[in-house]
Amino acid sequence: MYTLRSLAAALVLAGSVSTVHAWEALPTEVPAPADNPTTAEKVALGKMLYHDPRLSSTGTVSCASCHNTMLGGEDNRPNSMGVNGQTGGRSAPTVWNSAFNLVQFWDGRAASLEEQAAGPVTNPIEMGMKNWDDVVARLKTIEGYQAAFTAAFGPDSISKDSATKAIAAYERTLITPNSAYDHYVGGNQNALTEQQLRGMEKMAELGCTGCHSGPAFNGPGLLQKFPMHSNQYFEAQYHFSQDLGVAEVSKKAEDQHLFKVPTLRNIALTAPYMHNGSVKTLDAAVKIMGKLQLDKDLSKEEVADIVAFLNALTGPFPKQDMPTLPGTPGKAFN
């Protein structure tokens, strides 16, 4: 007679917990693109740029303001706050494990971390710089950055291209393997509780892993329609359909309500949920996703089991020393 634990373990070791889904551990490093190999100097520079509010028009907002690596990689706000107290219409995705995304942003408009890093700096609501020429000019006035860019890219290398490559190199270090789930997939049968194992099996049984698959639980494809099934009760509460997703950028009717499939890694730390940050708890998010994506009414017990499993996807954050930013002694930065 198999117990739930021994059955699930046997299925994982065989390659899947069900006949249609394979369970994979998160890799312990991220391959870098050929045109941006990772170096310690790039990572150090990228960490400084990521945490420097001087990349914003007001000198008050950095990448870390909305994607806080001391928390779950975002800001736990429904909508992130940029320069002059402005807020956008979407919830900040986590930066943790973003290197495993096939595309970046909720609408998938950036194909790489390098491309993504360029966007918020000149977004008028987020960091508010008029253009990257102004950013580069500002960085060139800071002596410490001249030295850091030289170490990472060579002399006279301060540019949009090198800055975004450095930020991306740093972001590729922000991964969280070694969760309880990863230990379980690696062969430790005691790493998950019985309830977490039930949740793991239930996710495969229901079809959650049709979208949230792979080691980062962010799917085999790029985009997915949300919501799949209309529901006036949930729409009246959460207003999911007000955001047209990819169509906001493409202006194509066929792209309406397409969104990037978000990672489930560390999801217990990233409330509130959904693209508009309208769902306050993980329990509610699971129930809503069951109904809107799978057209299933989940019981309290099923929700609790799935939430327990999702908590097992929280991995330890790598130790980070916060950078000392290069100063501008005796003068204002701008």
Residue type, 204: A
Q: Which residues are catalytic?
A: 126
Q: Which residues contact 263 (CB under 8 A, 6 or more apart)?
A: 94, 97, 98, 100, 101, 216, 217, 218
Phi-psi region of 158 (alpha: psi -120 to 50; beta: other; left: phi over 0): beta
CA–CA dist 248, 88 (Å, integer)? 13
CA 132 to chain centre: 24
Q: 117 to each of 38, 80, 163, 277, how far by Cα in Å?
A: 16, 16, 9, 22
Q: Which residues contact 91 (CB under 8 A, 6 or more apart)?
A: 74, 77, 78, 79, 80, 272, 273, 274, 275, 276, 277
Three-state secondary-structure class, residue 87: strand
Closest CA to 103 of 220, 210, 12, 267: 220
Burial of 324 (0-12, 13-18, 19+ CB in 10 A): exposed
d(CA 74, CA 38) in angstroms, rounded, equals 24
Identify the CA nearest to 54 among candidates 156, 213, 147, 163.
163
For 266, the enclosing helix (H) or strand (E) is: none
Is there a cis peptide before residue 272, judged by omega within 30 degrees of 0?
yes
